[in-house]
A and B are shown apart, each in its own frame.
Chain A
């Protein structure tokens, strides 16, 4: 029988229920990690994606945009915007998966399919279409791989599966080479970080850019808001994009409010998303603390990462991706 989960989680309710308590059961956590690592690896081996997903739904955003399937420069979503909400749902499922008895049940887990939230998917589609349009407006011709697009492998890296990440990276590299792709434009920090690491490992040879590096900004009007920017840890402290994002936002006429500690280069905090698969309670406790700190600076929060959005939007009302305010 196919197990389904409706994909909607009310994190605020959950947090109130758990009272912010974090269970640190190392045995349970390590067992859960073993299972999730196996699931991700099996799915990547089989289908180039970490979890069972509806690829058709994930590429729907490009319908009617006439983005070619072939080209040397690819707009690479790695399903991050489309799947950010689903990641959260899988986090909720993980303890249940663990309770199923671990690796013996892996075969049946292949049937697990989390349905994406319709609003989440529409929002992701608008953001990706916006990025696509801005690249076009910046005279950059890109292709899109539609349902052939592979996931970047970022989860392998972030879960410490370095050997597997490298091996998967080799597969990715061959895939891109076979497609004649020489330049990749990423849309999120986790993908850019993963591919950057593959380049450091001399696994990937292609040229890499974030869309933020290459889009020309146009001035937006009528916002009348001062935002606080929640930096993606990866963009700000690993990938050197902290100033780039601020410059782009400034060119677009977006006013940011800074705080020495809350938005400081070495003191701004994580949204908690990367630890969600390991310990959801901890992830949410970090998200709540981060949201609370950001809200003391401004009621309106900007993010540049779909995972940051998911975690922070659970605890703050006005959270927007930067693409939702500069388009």
Chain B
């Protein structure tokens, strides 16, 4: 982890120094996300309608169980499924469930693929297999994929071996399941940020694309969605991103007499699953709702002494580090991780959207004493009247 920290911190600093507009973008992302939280029901409704206008289908899942049921119904009898890295899919347990009912399911993000074959869980939100050394990855690939790869293989040889395997899975896949970096309420578009190129494959090659995300990922407009992905990329330390994908409904063409035909080359169906799972309740708590602004860039992890000491053992995945200590209270009502916070404050300093994480964790500590979170009064009406 020390190597990763010593690589990532200077890299992000350099990115922010060289691209000063990222700070202004981050401020804007905070502003628009707060607006959504103030009007959450309105924006959920607008997103659903916008997705349907594009020819897609939106599903609102109140609980993890609802989300699993929706995914299971959409997958139906199809057997070959590919996933791109999705924290919400992990939160819900999509892969485990589909595997348990006999589907052939493969993670296509390299880090997630490593975790899949290792039967392990993520240690970082952006780089999930951070806790593995190159040598350990070589041994894993040797045992699970390619006897020609071992601990002495180069990084490039390992990546090439996985690439070859995954290409065969892409071509056979019937359903592609992705996460979402941001959802545009005005267009129903989903923005996806990546560097590997796997998300393009997952969103384009199978006939069904299912995007699963939390309602906290909704932003008012497509422009805002683009901003959020760029901010995530910059503050995550991978800027510029290799790819930003925008998906608005299933593939279509109007090349013959301007008659819109679905599908064209890409998927015939697009589904967006919007998961609540505690987010609405958190939004009613004026202090806990700050956590819903998190864009999951993972920068706070490396500024946290508890994460550096405990790694992925601190918080139950997928969300870890300081943000995970907040999110455990949202999605699992688990207040224990917050009680390990040392309030060192580095997380607050590096958070692109200005979340006062130690103050939120202090509030969660108070929640662990049994006090009910305060309830906001008519947030939608308040904002609309302004």
Contacts and interface: CB of A to CB of B under 8 A. Distances in A.
Q: Do A and B come from one complex?
A: yes
Interface of A: 22, 24, 26, 29-30, 33, 37, 157-163, 233-234, 236-238, 260-261, 264-270, 272-275, 278-279, 282, 285-286, 289-290
A300 to B, nearest CB: 22
Contact of A282 (B5, B310, B363): B310
Contact of B349 (A37, A265, A279): A265
B365 A159 contact: yes
B170 to A, nearest CB: 39
Contacts of A29: 336, 339
A160 B366 contact: yes
Interface string B36-71: 000000000000000000000000000000000000
B134 interface: no
Given A267-B346, A289-B305, 5 more contacts: A29-B339, A233-B345, A237-B348, A238-B343, A275-B341
Which among A160, A162, A237, A261 has the highest number of chain B CB atoms within 10 Å? A160
A269 to B, nearest CB: 4
B303 A266 contact: yes
Contacts of B340: 275, 278-279, 282
Contacts of A37: 369
Contacts of A24: 310, 313-314
Contact of A266 (B310, B350, B362): B350
A282 B336 contact: no
A162 B345 contact: no
A237 B346 contact: yes
A289 B308 contact: yes
Contacts of A26: 336
Contact of B342 (A30, A233, A265): A233
Contacts of A30: 336, 339, 368
B370 to A, nearest CB: 10
Given A261-B9, A286-B309, A270 B342 contact: yes
A160 B365 contact: yes
B157 interface: no
A160 B9 contact: no
30 contacts: A37-B369, A157-B362, A159-B365, A162-B366, A233-B343, A233-B344, A233-B345, A233-B346, A237-B344, A237-B348, A237-B349, A238-B343, A260-B10, A261-B10, A266-B303, A267-B9, A268-B346, A269-B308, A269-B344, A269-B346, A270-B342, A272-B305, A272-B309, A274-B342, A275-B340, A279-B340, A282-B310, A282-B340, A286-B309, A290-B305
Nearest to B351: A266
A260 B313 CA distance: 28
Contacts of B302: 267
Interface residues of B, number: 34
Contacts of B350: 266
A163 B366 CA distance: 9
SS class, residues of chain B in contact with chain A: helix
B308 A266 contact: no
Nearest to A264: B9
Contacts of A278: 339-340
B9 A282 contact: no
Contacts of B368: 30, 33, 160
Contacts of B343: 158, 233-234, 238, 270, 274
Contacts of B342: 233, 270, 272-275, 286
Nearest to B5: A261
B377 to A, nearest CB: 21
Contacts of A237: 344-346, 348-349
B349 A22 contact: no
Interface string B328-345: 000000001011111111
A157 B350 CA distance: 23
A207 to B, nearest CB: 24
Which among A37, A273, A285 has the highest number of chain B CB atoms within 10 Å? A285
B309 A163 contact: no
A264 B350 CA distance: 12
A266 B364 CA distance: 23
A237 B300 CA distance: 14
B6 interface: yes
A162 B370 CA distance: 12
B339 A238 contact: no
Which among B303, B313, B314 has the highest number of chain A CB atoms within 10 Å? B303
B306 interface: yes
B371 interface: yes
A146 B368 CA distance: 36
